Amino acid sequence: MAELRFDGRVAVVTGAGGGLGRQHALALAARGAKVVVNDLGGTLDGSGGTPKAAQAVVDQIRAAGGEAIASGASVTDAVAVQAMVDEAIKTWGRVDILVNNAGILRDKSFTKMTLDDFRLVVEVHLMGAVNCTKAVWEVMRAQNYGRIVMTTSSSGLYGNFGQSNYGAAKMALVGLMQTLSIEGAKNNIRVNCLAPTAATRMTE
What sign results for the dihedral spanned by CA atoms 37, 121, 47, 201? negative
What's the CA gap between 102 and 14, in Å, rounded? Answer: 5
Tell me how crowded residue 193 is: count the other CB atoms within 10 A of its CB: 21
Q: What angle do CA 34, 36, 39 make, to 5 degrees?
A: 150
- DSSP, collapsed to helix, strand or coil, labels residue 175 as helix
> Containing H/E element for 166?
helix 164-184
For residues 186 and 140, is the Cβ–Cβ distance under 8 A?
Answer: no
DSSP 81-124: HHHHHHHHHHHHS---EEEE---------TTT--HHHHHHHHII
Q: List residues with catalytic annotation.
A: 166
**10-14/68-71 β-pairing:** unpaired
What's the CA gap between 82 and 201, in Å, rounded? Answer: 26
